């Protein structure tokens, strides 16, 4: 009896070792998309009133966990029974990411920048409903990026047993959520950490200098994240198209892949944005109801 228990424990230990190795490989392969995920979600989680930053981030994090709970079993089932569908799901997700990226580019180029007091007034007027809309948008984007992460992770263990596939993909999914949103939480609270350092040091010495640096750096970081997040959206979208459409994969082989993927993402985004705007115009959607 005892020998049987030890044998089971030995099998579990061996499986955990295999999971650790497979997860390390999968995480390395998803490092690029995780970096893009961080940039996109950090940009999505900023721009709220200071008192709402952590509640909003927690709402998005919970949504991300739910996304993973949905995606992981569906990805495993599709891989087992209808693997061709994974490709088309990725392409649809790529179209959505490209649309979001292109919309941000157009907004940046053609919309007047709002002054600080206008932003505050807008946030006060929009209130809870606008916050919910932004959270839903962030969770939707997270869903698509999560699909990409899960599928890449699954691709590293396709030849392994089902148990190893399930555990590896689950570990990567959890690490992705905890890691990305943990770092985002640190970013959005930079100014609070800076104010704390200034207060504790009596606004003197090295700690005070670091505190002022953190406070002054936050607006720059948020602005940079907005730009990096938009570029990341278009790169991820373009990468999805290039890796899943054979014609695009072999198109212009002499151009650096990052340039090609960005260009394809931007072009696809502009096309999708044009279609969306046309549909809204034809059907009278998105007009002011007041």
Number of helices and strands (H, E) in the chain?
10, 0
Q: Is residue 279 part of a domain?
A: yes
How many domains does the chain fold into?
1
How is residue 286 annotated by DSSP?
T
Q: Show the tokens assigned to 181.
A: 């949103």
236-285 pLDDT, tens digit per residue, is: 889 889 988 999 988 888 899 999 999 999 999 999 999 999 998 888 76
Q: Is residue 3 part of a domain?
A: no
- Looking at residue 260, its pLDDT comes to 94
Let me know: does 149 contact 156? Beta carbons within 8 Å. no
Tokens 């869903």: give the residue.
143
Task: Centre a 10 Å sphere on the Cβ of residue 101 and count the other Cβ atoms it contains.
Answer: 29
- Looking at residue 289, its pLDDT comes to 44
Q: Is residue 76 part of a domain?
A: yes
Q: Which residues of 38-64 are buried (b: 16+ CB within 10 A; e: fewer)?
A: bbbbbbbbbebeeeebeebbebbbebb
82-141 pLDDT, tens digit per residue, is: 888 888 888 888 898 899 889 989 988 887 555 544 445 555 545 677 778 888 888 888
Q: Is residue 106 part of a domain?
A: yes
- Looking at residue 191, its pLDDT comes to 80
24-61 pLDDT, tens digit per residue, is: 666 665 555 666 667 666 766 666 666 677 788 889 89
Most confidently modeled range among 31-35, 150-154, 209-213: 209-213
Tokens 């007041």: give the residue.
290
Residue 6 pLDDT exceeds 50: no
Q: Is residue 289 part of a domain?
A: no
Task: Centre a 10 Å sphere on the Cβ of residue 105 and count the other Cβ atoms it contains.
Answer: 18
Residue 159 pLDDT exceeds 90: no
If 0-12 CB within 10 Å is exposed, 13-18 middle and 19+ buried, where does residue 207 land? middle
Let me know: does 45 contact 188? Beta carbons within 8 Å. yes
Q: Is residue 263 part of a domain?
A: yes
Q: Is residue 84 part of a domain?
A: yes
If 0-12 CB within 10 Å is exposed, 13-18 middle and 19+ buried, where does residue 23 land? buried
What is the average pLDDT value for the chain, to the nearest integer?
80
Q: What is the pTM of this model?
A: 0.72
Containing structural domain, residue 255: 14-283
Q: Is residue 9 part of a domain?
A: no
């Amino acid at each position: 009896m005892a020998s049987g228990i030890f044998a089971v424990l030995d099998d579990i230990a061996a499986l955990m070792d295999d999971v650790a190795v497979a997860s390390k490989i999968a995480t390395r392969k998803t490092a690029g998309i995780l970096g893009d995920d961080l940039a996109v979600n950090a940009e999505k989680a900023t721009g709220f009133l200071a008192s709402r930053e952590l509640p909003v981030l927690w709402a998005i994090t919970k949504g991300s966990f739910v996304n993973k709970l949905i995606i992981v079993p569906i990805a495993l089932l599709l891989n087992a029974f209808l693997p061709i569908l994974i490709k088309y799901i990725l392409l649809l997700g790529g179209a959505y990411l490209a649309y979001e990226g292109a919309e941000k580019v157009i907004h940046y180029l053609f919309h007047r920048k709002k002054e600080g007091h206008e932003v505050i007034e807008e946030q006060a007027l929009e209130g809870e409903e606008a916050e919910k809309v932004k959270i839903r948008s962030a969770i939707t984007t997270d869903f698509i990026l999560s699909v990409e992460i899960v599928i890449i992770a699954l691709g590293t263990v396709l030849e392994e047993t089902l148990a190893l596939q399930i555990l590896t993909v689950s570990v990567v999914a959890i690490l992705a959520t905890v890691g990305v949103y943990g770092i985002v939480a640190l970013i959005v609270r930079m100014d609070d950490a800076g104010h704390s350092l200034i207060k504790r040091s009596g606004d003197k010495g090295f700690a005070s200098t670091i505190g002022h640096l953190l406070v002054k750096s936050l607006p720059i970081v948020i602005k940079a994240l907005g730009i990096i997040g938009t570029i990341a959206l278009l790169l991820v979208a373009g990468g999805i198209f290039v890796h899943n459409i054979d014609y695009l994969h072999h198109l212009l082989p002499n151009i650096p892949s990052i340039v090609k993927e960005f260009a394809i993402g931007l072009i696809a985004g502009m096309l999708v944005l044009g279609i969306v705007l046309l549909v809204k115009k034809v059907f009278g959607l998105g007009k002011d109801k007041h």
